[in-house]
Structure 1
Amino acid sequence: MSVSFRREGAAAFVEMNNPPVNAIGLAMREGLQSVLDRLAGEEGLTRVILTGAGRAFAAGGDAREFDAPAVAPHLNDIVAGIEQCAVPWIAAINGVALGGGCELALACRYRIARPGVQLGLPEVGLGVVPGSGGTQRLPRLIGMKPALDMIATGKPVSAEAAERMGLVDALSDDPVTAALELGAGVLGTAQRICDMPAPEADDAAVAAARVTAARKQAQQIAPQRAIELVAATAARPLADGLAAERQSFLDLRTGDQARALRHVFFAERAAKAPDWLTAQPGPTDRVAVVGGGTMGAGIAYALLNAGKTVTLLETDAAGVERARANVEKILSASLKRGLIDAEGAEARRARLTVSDDYATAAQAGLAIEAAFESMEVKHAVLSRLEAVLPPDAVLATNTSYLDIDEIASCVADPSRVLGLHFFAPAHIMKLLEIVRAARSSDHALATGFALGRDLRKVPVLAGVCDGFIGNRILARYREAADTVLMDGATPWEIDAAMVEFGYAMGPYEAQDLSGLDIAFANRRRQDATRDPNRRYIPIADRMVECGRLGRKTGAGWYSYPEGGGKAEDPTVAELVQNAARAAGVARRDYTADEIRERLVLAMINEAAEILSEGIAQSARDIDLVTVFGYGFPRWRGGLMFHADTLGAPHVVERLRALEAEDPVAWKISPLLLECVATGQTLGAFRPG
C-alpha cells in the first residue's frame, strides 16, 4: 500500500510508502486522495500528520510517468485539498522532501523537519517547473528572492537553512512525535499559505536570477519560465498563478529538453556495476595514490572526502612537500567555500599520509597510480607497489591514453590491474571510467565499481583502446575542429559555434585551460602509428613551438591579459593563415551551423564505432561519458541520445556528403548504416 492511514484519538497519521524514495506516482496520488475523501467522514480530529516511510518524506513525482498523459488524481488537486482541509495537516519531514514532496509540505499548515534533511524544488533540472504550486506558494511563504534562489537553480536547502528562511517551522529528531505534541494553540494560529499576502516585488532579484540562469543554464527553457512564474506572484492572484504554473508544467514535460534531461536522470541513476559482475569487491578503506600532482592530489582528496585513509606517494622529499601542498590547497579552497568546516579539515588531514616510502602503503587494499604518462614510469610504479602491497590488493592506473594491457604486463598477476580514469578536478568531476583490461578480474572490476559508489561518482565500464570512450571521442572532435580551422574558420568562431550548441566553452578555450602541451605530447606518442592517408593538421604543433601553451603561459589560442579575461589574438589568426598557405589550402567561410554540424557528426560517427567495437557497453554509457566528463549539453541528453533525436537516416545522409570530401576521416560507421537498414536506434543497440 503506497499510503497508509491510522487514527489515534484526535490525531490521524498518513504515511507515504513507495520505496526507496517515496516517489509520488499514480498509486500514491490515489492513496492520498482516498485519505482526503475519508477525512470528510471523520469526526473529532484535531490534526493530520503527514510523513514518509523509511528515510524519505517524498522525493518528488515519478518522472517515468511524464512521457504519458497526466492521469487523475493530479498532485496539484491533492495539494489544494490538503491546504483547504478543515482539519489542519502537519508535515513531519523525516527525510528528503523534493519537488512534489516539498509541495505537499507547503500545503500543510505546519512543517517540522528532522535536522540535516534536504528540501527543495529541483524540477528545472528535469526541464520542467514545479507543477503543484511550488512557484506560487514558496514566494508567499519566504519571499521573492529566496524563492528564486531555490526554484530557478533547483538547488535544495538543509532543514537548518529552511528553518532560518521560514520554510519549516521547527526542527526535531523525531518530527512525528513533535507533530503529535504540538500545542493546539500553536497549530490553531498557523496560517495557510493561500491566506498569506502576495510577496513584495523584487525586480533586482528577478533580474539577477535571469542573468544567473542565462549563464549557468544557458539555452534551457525551464529556469527562465520558473523565474517568470515566481516574479508574477507579486501581482497575480494565487488561483491565476496556480493555473499558469500548471499549464507551464504540462507544456514543458513533453518537450524535447525535458525528455533529454529525463534520459540523463535515469541513465545516471542506472549507472552501476553490470548485472554479470557478481564478484565481491576488495577492501577500499585504505587506499594508496601514487603521484601528488594536480590529478593525484584531487584523487586523494576525493578519497578523503569519502572517509578513506589515504597514503599519497611521491618520488622524493621535494615531491612529498609539493604533494602535501597540493592537497592543502584543495582543503583550503573547500574551507573557504564552506564545503567543510575546520573540524572536517583536521579529520581529513589525520587520515592522510604523504611519503616517498612505498612501505607506508603496505596495508592498502587498493592503489591508484596517477603518475606521469609514460609506460616506463607506469611500469616502475606498479612494480614498486607490487613489492609492498598484499598479493590480493587491486592495482589501478589513471592513465588517459596508454594501453592498460601493456601497463599490466609488468605485474606477476595482471588480473589485479584495471583502469580507473578520473577527470580533473578529480574531487569535483563526477565521471569515472572503469577500464577493463584483457585480464582484469571480476574482483578488480567489482572493487572499482565499489569505490565509484563510495566516491559518489558516475561509473562507466570501458574497454581498452586509445583514449577509451571519452578521450577517443574528444580526439575526433578536436580533429574535426582543426580541419575546419585550417580550411577557413578561426578558433573563436569555432568556440562560439559550440557554445551556442550548449557547451560551456569551445574546443580551443578548453585546450587553453588544460594546456596545449598535454595534447602535443599525446600526438607525438601517436606519430609512429598514425595512418599516413589521414590528413594531419599541424597548427596546434606550431602553437606549442611558439610557446603558446594556454592560460598557464598567458597565451594560447587566446591571449590572457594580466587583468583577467581572454582576448582574440591576431597573431593566432595569422599563424593559421600561414599554415593554410603552406599546405596549399584555399580557405573558405564556414557558417556557425556548418561548424556545429561537422564537429557533432564527427563525434557521433566515432561514438558509433566505439559502441560497435564493444568499447562502450551501451549508447547510454556514452551519453554519461559525454555529459559528465566532456561538457556535452545535458539538456540535449548526451551525444547518442542527440544522434537518435536527429535520426540515423539524417546522420548518414550528412556524413555521406562529408565522406565525399574526405573518405578517410569521414568513413561512415557500419553501425550507423545498420541502424538505417534495420530502423534500429543507437540507444537500442547492445554490442554482441
Structure 2
Amino acid sequence: MTPQYQSQITQLTESVRLERRDDVALLIVNNPPVNALSYHVRQGLIDGMAAAEASDAAAIVLICDGRTFIAGADITEFSQPPKPPGLVPGQEAMENCSKPVVAAIHGTALGGGLEVALCAHFRVAINSAQFGLPEVKLGLLPGGGGTQRLPRITGPQRALEIMVSGDPIGAAEALDCGLINEIVGDSLADLEAGAVAFARRAVAEGMPRPRIRDRNDRLEGFGAEQFAAFRASIARRTRGFEAADCIVRCVEAAVETGASGDFEAGLAAEQRIFGELMGSSQANAQQYYFFAERAAQKVPDVPRDTPQVDIGRVGILGAGTMGGGIAMNFANIGIPVTLVERDEASLERGLGVVRRNYERTAARGGISSDDVQTRMDLLQGSTDMGDFADCDLMIEAVFENMDLKKDVFAQLDGICKPGAVLATNTSALNVNEIASATSRPEDVIGMHFFSPANVMRMLEVVRGDDTSHTAIATAMSIGKRIGKTPVLCGVCYGFIGNRMLFMRGIEAEKMLLEGATPAQIDKVVYDFGFPMGPFAMSDLAGLDVGWNEATSSSSTVREVLCESGRRGQKNGRGYYTYDPDTRASTPDPEVEQMIRDFAAERGAVLRDVADQEILERCLYPMVNEGAKILDEGIALRGSDVDVTWINGYGWPIYTGGPMYWADEIGLGEVLGRIRHYDETLGGDHWTPSPLLERLAAEGGSLARHEI
C-alpha cells in the first residue's frame, strides 16, 4: 500500500473492506479460513461495489486476503433460515458496474466463489489457482448462476464435465477454456500487481466490459444429441445420484434460453431445479458426510500439537499388489521409499507392476512421462531388510498370517531406528499381538490400506493398547498427505470395515442355501447403490484368497467352487463366468446347480427369497455390528463408521452410510427387523446391540453417537 493511500481504508463489514491503489479500488474479502460467502461477505460485496462505483476510481479489483479466493458458500448456513441479502444483488452490482471489474484469484475459486468471479468483467489468477463448482458433492447444483454462466464461457461440454465431476481445474486449463483472461505470476503480491495492471490496461485501452450473461455464441450447436451422449457417458459413475442429472437439465435450460436470449428464464430454471435438491434426502446425506469426513480427522485424546515423526523415507516390506500400491502413494508426493522383497524376481515383478500403473496413468494424461520416471526413481528396491535402518515409517505388507507378521516385527525391532513408526497393513489381525513381538509397542500401529492401495481413499488407522500419541498423530497426518481418508479405530478382528463385512457375508451365503441366486443377491445390493454385490466382489478379489486346498472341507459354497477349479475373474470362472476379452459377467447355471446340490446335501428347503428380505439380511446385520463396534469403543463416533464404509466399500454416499441410513429409516424399525431375524434365523450377528436398543428407546442417533 502506498503511503499516499494508507488512510483510504473503508471497513464495510467485518469481513470486507475497500482500499485504493491510486486510480484502482480494491474490494478485499477477509473471512478466514476460506473466505466463505457468509452474510457479512455478501453484504460487503454489495456495499463495496456501491462505494467503488460512486468513487473516482477508474476500475475495481476484487481480491481476498489469506490463503484463498472465495472458496464457496458458508455450508453452516444451509441448515438455517435464509439471511438476506442473497448473492444475486452483489453479482448484479458487479455485472452492471460502469467501471471494469477484475476478479483476482489465488487458492481456490469454488462454488459460490467462482459464481461471483463469473460476474466480474475479467478474471486473472496466479499459476497455482484452482477453479470448480463442487456442489454436486453436496447433493446440490450451483445455485448462484453457475449452470447458466459457465456454459456461456467454456461451452456446454466442458461446463458439464466440470460441474458433474465437481473436481477443480488448474489455472492453465482455466485459461485454455476461456474461464480466465490472464495468469499473472505465482505469489499473492504478483496477483495484486497483475490485477491492478490489468484493470488499468482495460481502462487505458477502452476494453469493452463483457457480461457473460450476454454471451450465447458458445452455446450454439449443442443440442439434444450432445446432451444424450453426455448422459450416456456419465450413466455408470453417476448412477443413483439425483444432482448430476439436475445439472444437465440446468445446462439444457441455458442452451434453450440462449437461443431465445432470455437469460433470466435460465436463472429461474436453475433456481427451480435447485429447489428440488435443497433439503432432499440425498443432499442432507451428502452434507452430513461432508462434516463426517472432517470429524474423522479429530482424535479427542490426541492433542493437535502432538509431536509427529518427520517422514523423510518410508520402508515397505512386500512389493506385491498391496505393497506396490502403498509405495505409489508416497512416491506420488515425493517421499522416497525403500521397497523390500524376498528375492530379486519378486522385486522386479513388483516394480514392473508399479511402472506399468504409472505408464497407464500417463497414457490417460494424468501425469507426464517425466513424472513416471521421477516417481520410479523414488523407489529403491532391495532384498535386504537391513535397508530399512534409515526409514522413519515402516509398513509391513506381507501375507495375512500372525506368526509371519510377528516374526517380521521382531526383525524390524532390531533394524529400525529408535522412534520410527512401525505399521502393519493387516486387514483383521490383532495389532496388540503383533506389537508384542517388539520391545517398543508404543511405536506399533495398524495402517490398513484398501486394495488397490494406489486408488482407494480409505485408510483404517488402528491404535493398539500401547500405541503412542505420536504414532497416532503421525499415521493420521501422513494418511491425509497421501490423499487418503484416515479413520482411527481400536483393535478387534476385522476392525470397523471388515468386521461389518463379515456379517453381510454370513447372510449372503445363508440365502444361497435358501433359494436366492448369486445374481439375485448381487442385483439387490447393486440396485441399493453399491458398485457391485458380494459375490461379484468375491470373484473380483479372487475366490481363492485365504483358501487352502490342503485344508478345504467343502463346508461352504465358496470352498466347493474353489475345489472345482473356480477362482473368480482371474480364470474366468467363479460365481459367474466371464468373457475373456471384456470381463463381462454371466450367471452360470452350473454354479446354481452346484449350490442347489450343496443345499440338498444339508437338507435345506429352497424357496423364493424376496428382494426386500435380501436387502434387510445383507444390510441390517451390518448396522447391528456397527452399533456393537461403537458400543465397544472400537470406533470413536458413528460417523466414522459411515466414512469407512463409503470410502472403503462403496456404500452409496447419497444414503449417508450405514449408521446414517439406519437413523433415516428409524432405529425402532431397524431394531424390530433385527429382532425378527434373531428369532427366526438366530446367530450372534442377529443378537441386538445394546446400544441400538438404548438409542431406539431414547430416540437417539447412531450416526451422531460419540464415545
CA distance change for structure 1 residues 519 and 127 in 2, over 3 Å: closer, same or farther? Answer: farther
Residue 345 of structure 2 aligns with an amino acid whose one-letter code is A
- The Cα shift of 1:92 comes to 0.7
Q: 1:55 aligns with which of 67, 70, 94?
A: 67
Secondary structure of 2:446's counterpart equals strand
Q: Report matched runs for 1:218-617 at 5 Å.
A: 218-236=239-257, 237-278=262-303, 279-518=306-545, 520=547, 538-564=556-582, 565-617=584-636
Whether 1:668 and 2:688 are equivalent positions in the alignment is yes
Q: 1:22 aligns with which of 31, 35, 42?
A: 35
Q: CA–CA distance in 2 between the matches of 1:338 and 1:213?
A: 19
- The Cα shift of 1:395 comes to 1.0
Residue 31 of structure 1 aligns with an amino acid whose one-letter code is G
Cα pair 2:328 2:354 within 8 Å, conserved: yes
Q: CA–CA distance in 2 between the matches of 1:522 and 1:171?
A: 63
Match of 2:644 in 1: 625
Residue 256 of structure 1 aligns with an amino acid whose one-letter code is S
Q: CA–CA distance in 2 between the matches of 1:636 and 1:330?
A: 32
Q: CA–CA distance in 2 between the matches of 1:85 and 1:523?
A: 80
CA RMSD of aligned residues (A): 2.0
Q: CA–CA distance in 2 between the matches of 1:10 and 1:684?
A: 54
Q: CA–CA distance in 2 between the matches of 1:505 and 1:519?
A: 21
Residue 233 of structure 1 aligns with an amino acid whose one-letter code is A
Residue 485 of structure 2 aligns with an amino acid whose one-letter code is V
- Could you tell which deviates more after superposition, 601-610 or 186-195? 186-195
Residue 705 of structure 2 aligns with an amino acid whose one-letter code is F
Q: CA–CA distance in 1 between the matches of 2:329 and 2:453?
A: 7
Match of 1:194 in 2: 213
CA distance change for structure 1 residues 413 and 521 in 2, over 3 Å: closer, same or farther? Answer: farther
Cα-to-partner distance string for 1:423-457 (whole Å, 9 max, x where unaligned): 11112211111101122222222221222122121
- The Cα shift of 1:7 comes to 2.3
Q: CA–CA distance in 2 between the matches of 1:445 and 1:233?
A: 50
Cα pair 1:144 1:205 within 8 Å, conserved: no
Match of 2:102 in 1: 90
Cα pair 1:611 1:617 within 8 Å, conserved: yes
CA distance change for structure 1 residues 519 and 375 in 2, over 3 Å: closer, same or farther? Answer: closer
Secondary structure of 1:234's counterpart equals helix
Cα pair 2:507 2:617 within 8 Å, conserved: yes
Match of 2:122 in 1: 110
Residue 15 of structure 1 aligns with an amino acid whose one-letter code is I
Q: CA–CA distance in 2 between the matches of 1:600 and 1:544?
A: 26
Q: Report matched runs for 1:154-169 at 5 Å.
A: 154-169=166-181
TM-score normalised over the length of structure 2 = 0.92
Secondary structure of 1:499's counterpart equals helix
- The Cα shift of 1:521 comes to 6.0
Whether 1:685 and 2:698 are equivalent positions in the alignment is no
- Could you tell which deviates more after superposition, 285-294 or 6-15? 6-15
Residue 687 of structure 2 aligns with an amino acid whose one-letter code is K
Q: CA–CA distance in 2 between the matches of 1:185 and 1:509?
A: 66
Q: CA–CA distance in 1 between the matches of 2:375 and 2:166?
A: 30
Q: CA–CA distance in 1 between the matches of 2:514 and 2:102?
A: 67
Aligned-pair identity (%) = 38
Q: CA–CA distance in 1 between the matches of 2:120 and 2:56?
A: 19
Q: CA–CA distance in 1 between the matches of 2:557 and 2:332?
A: 41
Residue 227 of structure 1 aligns with an amino acid whose one-letter code is V
Q: CA–CA distance in 2 between the matches of 1:402 and 1:149?
A: 42
Q: CA–CA distance in 1 between the matches of 2:157 and 2:353?
A: 38
Q: CA–CA distance in 2 between the matches of 1:329 and 1:19?
A: 43
CA distance change for structure 1 residues 408 and 522 in 2, over 3 Å: closer, same or farther? Answer: farther
- The Cα shift of 1:391 comes to 2.5
- What is the aligned length? 677
Cα-to-partner distance string for 1:220-267 (whole Å, 9 max, x where unaligned): 111101101101222222101101212322331211101100111112
CA distance change for structure 1 residues 219 and 304 in 2, over 3 Å: closer, same or farther? Answer: same
Cα-to-partner distance string for 1:134-182 (whole Å, 9 max, x where unaligned): 1111111121211111122222211111111111111111232222112
CA distance change for structure 1 residues 358 and 563 in 2, over 3 Å: closer, same or farther? Answer: closer
Residue 601 of structure 2 aligns with an amino acid whose one-letter code is A
- The Cα shift of 1:286 comes to 0.9
Match of 2:76 in 1: 64
Match of 1:530 in 2: none
- The Cα shift of 1:683 comes to 2.6
Residue 140 of structure 2 aligns with an amino acid whose one-letter code is V
Residue 104 of structure 2 aligns with an amino acid whose one-letter code is A
Cα pair 2:106 2:128 within 8 Å, conserved: no
Q: CA–CA distance in 1 between the matches of 2:362 and 2:117?
A: 33
- The Cα shift of 1:464 comes to 0.9
- Could you tell which deviates more after superposition, 113-122 or 242-251? 242-251
Match of 2:5 in 1: none
- The Cα shift of 1:509 comes to 0.9
- The Cα shift of 1:680 comes to 1.5
Secondary structure of 2:275's counterpart equals helix
Secondary structure of 2:176's counterpart equals helix
Whether 1:77 and 2:104 are equivalent positions in the alignment is no
Q: CA–CA distance in 2 between the matches of 1:543 and 1:491?
A: 13
Whether 1:659 and 2:678 are equivalent positions in the alignment is yes
Residue 317 of structure 1 aligns with an amino acid whose one-letter code is E
- Could you tell which deviates more after superposition, 125-134 or 326-335? 326-335
Cα pair 1:116 1:160 within 8 Å, conserved: no
Q: CA–CA distance in 2 between the matches of 1:235 and 1:420?
A: 52
Unaligned runs of 5+ in 2: 1-13
CA distance change for structure 1 residues 187 and 586 in 2, over 3 Å: closer, same or farther? Answer: farther
Q: CA–CA distance in 1 between the matches of 2:703 and 2:154?
A: 43
Task: Detail structure 1 runs of 4+ shifted over 3 Å in the superposition.
Answer: 519-525
- The Cα shift of 1:273 comes to 4.4
Q: CA–CA distance in 2 between the matches of 1:640 and 1:524?
A: 38
Match of 2:56 in 1: 44
Q: CA–CA distance in 2 between the matches of 1:463 and 1:576?
A: 37
Residue 455 of structure 2 aligns with an amino acid whose one-letter code is I
Cα pair 2:293 2:640 within 8 Å, conserved: no
- The Cα shift of 1:120 comes to 1.2
Cα pair 1:627 1:633 within 8 Å, conserved: yes
- Could you tell which deviates more after superposition, 83-92 or 414-423? 83-92
- The Cα shift of 1:78 comes to 2.1
Q: CA–CA distance in 1 between the matches of 2:162 and 2:549?
A: 43
Cα pair 1:463 1:616 within 8 Å, conserved: yes
- The Cα shift of 1:332 comes to 1.7
Match of 2:197 in 1: 181
Q: 1:13 aligns with which of 26, 29, 50?
A: 26
Unaligned runs of 5+ in 1: 528-535
Residue 165 of structure 2 aligns with an amino acid whose one-letter code is T
Residue 668 of structure 1 aligns with an amino acid whose one-letter code is P
Cα pair 1:415 1:441 within 8 Å, conserved: yes
Secondary structure of 1:55's counterpart equals coil
Cα pair 1:273 1:449 within 8 Å, conserved: no
Cα pair 1:323 1:354 within 8 Å, conserved: no
TM-score normalised over the length of structure 1 = 0.95
- The Cα shift of 1:187 comes to 6.0
Cα-to-partner distance string for 1:391-446 (whole Å, 9 max, x where unaligned): 32221100112211221221122222111100111122111111011222222222
Q: CA–CA distance in 2 between the matches of 1:274 and 1:382?
A: 26
